[in-house]
A = this chain, B = another copy of it.
Amino acid sequence: MDPSASAEAIERVSQEIVRMGGQPHLSKGKFRTVIGAVGDEIALDQSHLTSLDGVEKVVPIMKPYKLASREFHEDDTVVEVGGGSVPKVLIGGKHAVCIAGPCTIENRPMLDIISRHVRDGGATILRGGAFKPRTSPYSFQGHGEEALKWHREAGDSLGMPICSEVMDTRQVELVERYTDMFQIGARNMQNFDLLREVGKTRKPVLLKRGLAATVKDWLLSAEYVLSQGNRGVVLCERGIKTFEDSIRYSLDITSIPVARQLTHLPIIVDPSHAAGKRDYVPALALAGLAAGAHGIIVEVHHRPAEAQCDGPQALLPETFKELMGQLRLIATVTKKEFAEIGELANS
């Protein structure tokens, strides 16, 4: 309460807490009275309490998310991707994953070449964009359903589950028909209708962190998906906006131990979009694993100068393979393991 709050104001706030189903606990100091409100934090509406006369600030102690919290579910969640026409890949707990492929799917032959490269290098899930979120309306926006078909065929022929981005609620049904895993991009992390729609499906969701989202905001977005009954959420750290201008985004490595403590959901890193430049990708990927992440999602292209999108950040196949070797070493330090594609069994 404000130092100048009257006894009536204090009494009024206490009564409101009772009315909302909570119990007030008063601590009177020399300068100030603090009222502890014990009860369900959803019922104890913070915004309402802040509005009452004499209230200086309301400090929530409980976390605003439930299903995503480690208090609700103590053990690490292991998410299954694939099954059916392709083997199942596990993410979470001791299972580390490498999702790789081109930024955008440009055509069938190029996808085939890159798919084989990433499979050889050690990836077990094949990424690729059919619908691309682009900052400028004049940039290439993706090949849509045709690209999804090529993507499905490539995954099936190599025995790899696939992961594809969905940008619009109207595309969810279409993308669901083809993909094994939805990707929600950073700019859609708080597109709440989209989160609800993928939450209604039973396909796992790779949820990228928004560029201005705190870890708490991110877990609340995961909660949107989980609250619809879809428990297959994998978090993906991909960098936040900061003042630093020598790199595209600052990969927030600190979010990994923080999220690992707050949530049971798996978390991976995307070094490609953070770096924006291939030279920096390996260092960020290795740092992510060392900090405790459950793997990476990375862009690979054998001819980056001809890529229609984000060529400068794509790894060359040989660099990718070498990186995977280093990642396997670091995974042993943090008690995780990357599956070999040959070991995966079809379900």
Q: Which residues of A contact B (CB under 8 A)?
A: 3, 23, 25-32, 34, 36, 38-39, 42, 47-48, 50-52, 59, 61-62, 64-65, 71, 133-138, 167-170, 187-188, 190-194, 196, 210-212, 214-217, 220, 223-224, 227, 239-247, 250-258, 260-262, 274-275, 277, 279-280, 283-284, 286-292, 304-307, 309-312, 326, 329-330, 332-334
Give the residue name and chain of the B residue nearest to A239 (CB): B254
Select A27's contact among B38, B227, B305, beta carbons within 8 Å.
Answer: B38
Q: Which residue of B lies closest to A216 (CB)?
A: B246
> In the bound complex, how far is the Cα of B253 from the Cα of A247, in angstroms?
11
Q: Is A283 in contact with B257, judged by CB distance below 8 angstroms?
A: yes
Tell whether, in the assembled complex, residue A220 and residue B257 are in contact, meaning their CB atoms are under 8 Å apart. Answer: no
Known: A136-B220, A187-B192, A211-B212. 9 other contacts (CB 8 A): A27-B38, A29-B39, A36-B36, A133-B190, A133-B192, A170-B193, A214-B243, A216-B246, A240-B250
Task: Give CA–CA (A252, B291) in the complex, Å.
Answer: 13
Please, which residues of chain B bring their CB within 8 A of the CB of A246?
Answer: 214-216, 255, 258, 262
Closest to A103 in B: B47
Known: A167-B193, A168-B193, A287-B290. Contact between A48 and B305, CB under 8 A?
A: yes
* A36 contacts across to B, CB distance below 8 A: 25, 27, 34, 36
Query: For the complex, what is the distance from the CA of A286 to the CA of B329, rounded to whole Å?
Result: 13
B contact residues around A309 at 8 Å (CB): 47
A243 and B218 CA atoms in complex are apart in Å by: 13
Q: B291 and A287: CB pair below 8 A? A: yes
- With both chains docked as a complex, state the minimum distance between the C-beta of A167 and any C-beta of chain B, in angstroms: 6
Contacts of A34 in B (CB 8 A): 25, 36, 38, 61
Q: Which residues of B contact A307 (CB under 8 A)?
A: 47-48, 51
A309 to chain B: closest residue by CB:
B47
The 3 closest A-B pairs by CB, nearest first: A212-B212, A290-B290, A27-B36
Q: In whole angstroms, what is the CA distance A257 to B27 when docked? A: 29
| Complex Cα spacing A277 to B262, Å | 14
> Min CB distance, A7 to chain B, in Å?
17
In the complex, chain B residues whose CB is within 8 Å of the CB of A326: 333
Closest to A46 in B: B312
Residues of B within 8 A of A211 (CB): 212
Contact between B275 and A254 (Cβ–Cβ < 8 Å)?
yes
What residues of chain B lie closer than 8 Å to A47, measured between beta carbons?
307, 309-312
When C-beta atoms are compared, the residue in chain B nearest to A193 turns out to be B168
Given contacts A29-B38, A251-B253, A254-B251, contact A137 B223 (CB under 8 A): yes
- Residues from chain B with a CB closer than 8 A to the CB of A50 are 277, 311-312
Residue of B nearest to A38 (CB): B29
Closest CB in chain B relative to A73 CB, distance in Å: 13
Nearest neighbor of A247 in chain B, beta-carbon distance: B254
Query: Which residues does chain B contribute within 8 Å of A286, judged by CB atoms?
Result: 290-291, 333-334
Complex alpha-carbon distance, A292 and B275, angstroms:
15
Nearest Cβ on chain B to A193's Cβ, whole angstroms: 4
The smallest C-beta distance from A99 to any residue of chain B, in angstroms, reads 19
